[in-house]
């Protein structure tokens, strides 16, 4: 099948296979976004008299049919068709004749793929943020539930000071809230319209870029057409950095969970159906979900660097190198959400040891508490520190396990309501409803 760009010479088959690569596979994920962009584009073309009303009507109707195919997972990119843009144009031309060929006026596949990737990333950010929020809710609930259950805190993996499950669960909830802050910044960079930049240098057609910006629910456009093209790779790297931030939080939580569920710690226990066994050791109950989560999230943290290494020595303008980013970027959202969903499931059902500090091995956790008690009674801090240290050396230290922490964010004052309010404020800033309404209007218009 002829390419959109082919003239009289047919490209070598091996060159064709090499240059197309995995594009057809990746572009399936972009199909409905390509159609949404085309719907906005033809409405704009009609508004500047580059399409007749009758042409617009039949194109819009057929694009909506193709959109439904993409929604129903029945859209395919046929053998010999180079990418999703070519497939959509081919379907329109096959069904509608020459009017289907008019859809590309004022566009390049360069700004089409820029747009598709932004619309895809925007939707995937929405889904990812909702999944983060579900894990956040479980962590805050568990923090409140176990706020009075103590566990050891560690520095250098040595017993350090008293902590609590309220602090432990809540710490990861607040970490996710900060991750949302970074995700919001990535979303804001993503939610700008590149359509109309064409191959990166604009068009002599009288395009109305503000109209397509409004129709697609973008906050603004990428104004400078050269910058719009330069944004390819930058947007993906920025979003990947936000995804990597979430992955870092989950990887650390997974590491803690592996440690805390081991017999040598025994702080947490997973239901038996959440563990796997050994082919040789009948007693084993392995935390494989957390181990795989840790590995997958560590892999996701390499994503910004992989994208950086593809793009960091490219000048302005389009280069085919950028195509490879899709293979890394497109699957990353689903992989992170899978990890988030499994972590949510595990954290909701994990069982907490409520009597950890009854074990004498944790008595020294309370040494700082004793130093502080003596200091509050009037003894200089350094003298109190020495007195307790000498008692520990002599084996005479007797811990007082009554703990009274009152400052913000401490064992006795978790500030979970404030953490939740911070998270909710960030969620509202995404303004996903505006996007949903814009896309709904395009499909129903």
For the chain, give the percent of residues with pLDDT over 90. 72
pLDDT band at 4, cuts 50/70/90? Answer: low
Residue ranges per domain, the chain? 13-105, 110-204+235-357+415-437, 359-410
Q: Kindly report the length of the chain.
A: 445
- 83, 46, 40: which is closest to 63 by C-alpha? 40
pLDDT band at 273, cuts 50/70/90? Answer: confident
Decide if 415 contacts 409 (C-beta within 8 A): yes
142 DSSP 8-state letter: H
What 3-state class would DSSP assign to 299?
helix
Q: Taking the mean position of all CA atoms in its chain, how far away is CA 237?
A: 12
Query: Domain 13-105 classified CATH 1.10.3720.10?
Result: no
Which residue matches tokens 């796997």? 276
User: What is the number of alpha carbons within 13 Å of residue 334 lying toward its C-beta?
Assistant: 7
**12/397: higher pLDDT:** 397
Decide if 364 contacts 392 (C-beta within 8 A): yes
For the chain, give the percent of residues with pLDDT over 70. 94
Q: What is the pLDDT of residue 48?
A: 96
Which residue matches tokens 């800033």? 429
pLDDT band at 6, cuts 50/70/90? Answer: low
Encoding tokens for residue 103?
A: 């859809």
H-helix segments, 75-208: 84-96, 109-145, 165-190
Q: What is the pLDDT of residue 282?
A: 67
Encoding tokens for residue 59?
A: 């194109």
Q: What is the pLDDT of residue 5?
A: 44
pLDDT band at 278, cuts 50/70/90? Answer: low
Q: What does the alpha-carbon distance between residue 225 and residue 25 come to, in Å, rounded to a whole number?
A: 28
How many C-beta atoms lie closer than 10 Å to residue 228's C-beta? 26
**412/241: higher pLDDT:** 241
Residue 17 in this model has a pLDDT that exceeds 70: no
How many C-beta atoms lie closer than 10 Å to residue 407's C-beta? 9
How many C-beta atoms lie closer than 10 Å to residue 402's C-beta? 8
How many C-beta atoms lie closer than 10 Å to residue 409's C-beta? 15
Q: What is the pLDDT of residue 313?
A: 87
Decide if 307 contacts 329 (C-beta within 8 A): yes
**84/178: higher pLDDT:** 178
pLDDT band at 138, cuts 50/70/90? Answer: very high
Who's near 17: CB < 8 A, 6+ residues apart?
Answer: none
pLDDT band at 283, cuts 50/70/90? Answer: confident
Q: Taking the mean position of all CA atoms in its chain, how far away is CA 219?
A: 20
Distance from the first to the final alpha carbon of the chain: 33
Q: What does the alpha-carbon distance between residue 241 and residue 88 come to, in Å, rounded to a whole number?
A: 32
Q: What is the pLDDT of residue 404?
A: 83
What 3-state class would DSSP assign to 408?
coil
Residue 205 in this model has a pLDDT that exceeds 70: yes
Which CATH number is 110-204+235-357+415-437 given? 1.20.200.10
Who's near 331: CB < 8 A, 6+ residues apart?
Answer: none
pLDDT in tens, 213-253: 999 999 999 999 999 999 999 999 999 999 999 999 999 99
Decide if 336 contacts 247 (C-beta within 8 A): yes
Crossing angle of the two packed helices 416-430 and 109-145, in degrees rounded to 10: 160
Overall average pLDDT of the 291-303 stretch: 96
pLDDT in tens, 40-73: 999 999 999 999 999 999 999 999 999 999 999 9
């Amino acid at each position: 099948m002829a390419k959109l760009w082919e003239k009289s010479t047919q490209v070598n088959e091996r060159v064709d296979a090499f240059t197309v690569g995995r594009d057809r596979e990746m572009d399936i994920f972009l199909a409905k976004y390509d159609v949404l962009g085309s719907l906005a584009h033809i409405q704009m073309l009609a508004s500047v008299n580059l399409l007749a009303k009758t042409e617009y009507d039949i194109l819009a109707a057929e694009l909506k049919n193709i959109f439904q195919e993409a929604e129903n997972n029945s859209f395919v990119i046929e053998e010999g068709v180079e990418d999703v843009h070519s497939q959509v144009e081919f379907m329109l031309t096959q069904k509608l004749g020459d009017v289907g060929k008019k859809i590309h006026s004022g566009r390049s596949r360069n700004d089409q793929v820029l747009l598709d990737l932004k619309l895809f990333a925007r939707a995937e950010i929405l889904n990812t943020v909702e999944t983060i929020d579900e894990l956040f809710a479980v962590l805050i609930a568990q923090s409140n539930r176990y706020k009075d259950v103590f566990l050891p805190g560690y520095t250098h993996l040595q017993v350090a000071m008293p902590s609590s499950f309220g602090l432990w669960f809540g710490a990861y909830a607040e970490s996710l809230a900060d991750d949302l802050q970074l995700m919001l910044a990535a979303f804001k960079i993503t939610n700008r319209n590149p359509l109309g930049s064409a191959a990166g240098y604009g068009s002599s057609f009288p395009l109305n870029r503000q109209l397509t910006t409004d129709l697609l629910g973008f906050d603004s456009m990428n104004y400078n057409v050269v910058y719009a093209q330069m944004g390819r790779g930058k947007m993906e790297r920025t979003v990947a950095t936000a995804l990597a931030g979430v992955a870092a939080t989950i990887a650390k939580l997974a590491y803690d969970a592996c440690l805390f569920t081991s017999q040598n710690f025994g702080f947490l226990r997973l239901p038996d159906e959440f563990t796997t066994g050994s082919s040789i050791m009948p007693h084993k109950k392995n935390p494989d979900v957390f181990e795989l989560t840790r590995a997958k999230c560590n892999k996701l943290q390499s994503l910004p660097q992989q994208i950086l290494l593809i793009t960091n020595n490219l000048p302005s303008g389009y280069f085919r190198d950028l195509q490879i980013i899709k293979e890394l970027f497109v699957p990353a959202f689903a992989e992170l959400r899978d990890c988030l969903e499994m972590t949510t499931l595990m954290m909701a059902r994990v069982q907490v040891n409520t009597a950890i500090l009854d074990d004498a091995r944790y008595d020294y956790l309370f040494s700082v508490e004793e130093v502080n008690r003596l200091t509050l009674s009037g003894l200089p801090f350094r003298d109190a520190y020495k007195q307790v240290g000498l008692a520990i050396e002599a084996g005479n230290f007797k811990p007082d396990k009554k703990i009274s922490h009152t400052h913000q964010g401490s064992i006795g004052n978790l500030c979970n309501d404030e953490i939740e309010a911070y998270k909710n404020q960030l969620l509202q800033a995404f303004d996903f409803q505006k996007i949903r309404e814009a896309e709904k209007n395009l499909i129903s218009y």
